[in-house]
Amino acid sequence: MRTIVLISAVLLSFFGFGQNNPIEEKMYKELCNEFKQKTEKADTILIQKAYEKVVFPYLDKWNEEKWDSVSFSISVRLQKECPEYRQLLERIYPVETEEVKFFDKPQKSVISDTELQEFKDEKYFYYLANYVTTYLIIDNGMWFEFFEDKTYSKNLMEWDDRNKFTLTFVESNNLMKKAYSREGDQYHYEIISKENDWYWIQMPEPGGNRFVNLKIYILVKNGADE
């Protein structure tokens, strides 16, 4: 039975999509066009109808046991390809606003040199997404994330300016991360401020016009045992 697998991925190919091929690109474009249409339908109904029209015929190309995993990857990747779909999911699954904030314009960085150096000297951090903790290690130009389900994500980290850096996706065995990013995908961040034991990190929303500010907490102080 074909079902819709919805998952909200603010920070984000189980079945080996790899780089999008022309068939997948066409599918994402058609789906996004469906979500751009003005309608009075409920968000969940709009998604259901779009999937029935565009995704279900695509799922028929796969063995039935892969339908859920394929649908999952489509949902995650589509959030990167289509801002309208991402906005639908934000209404269905509201984001915890204490940890993530959205702005129409980039926020000005007020991070001091001392606070910035403290960030660069730290190694262990964590962040919260819908009350789930993800642990972060920044070490020797690498950015590692460790998730609740024992999976990980690996990125190259390069400082571009005083308080700006780029992450380049390398690999992950986390289903959401694998579906959302491809090897070589880059994400640009700016450290905006420090409050208490956390930092606000800003990034442009992929494919959108907003800016996302994320809280990243210090986990272990300098000098703690590794």
DSSP string, 149-170: TS-EEEEEEEE-SSSEEEEEEE
pLDDT for residue 194 is more than 70: yes
Decide which of 202 and 17 is more confident. Answer: 202
Per-residue pLDDT, averaged over 105-114, amounts to: 96
pLDDT for residue 156 is more than 60: yes
Whole-number pLDDT of residue 221: 55
Domain boundaries, the chain: 22-92, 100-218
pLDDT in tens, 69-109: 777 778 777 877 788 888 888 788 776 678 888 899 999 99
Which residues contact residue 93 at a Cβ distance below 8 angstroms, ignoring those fewer than 6 apart? 6, 8, 130
SS3 content of the chain, % helix, strand, coil (to 5): 35, 30, 40
Sort residue 207 into left (φ over 0), alpha (ψ -120 to 50) or beta.
Answer: left
Query: Cα(77)–Cα(72) distance, rounded to whole angstroms?
Result: 9
pLDDT for residue 14 is more than 70: no
| Cα 139 off chain centre by | 21
CATH code assigned to 100-218: 2.40.128
pLDDT for residue 13 is more than 50: no
Q: pTM to 2 decimals?
A: 0.69
Rg of the chain (C-alpha set): 19
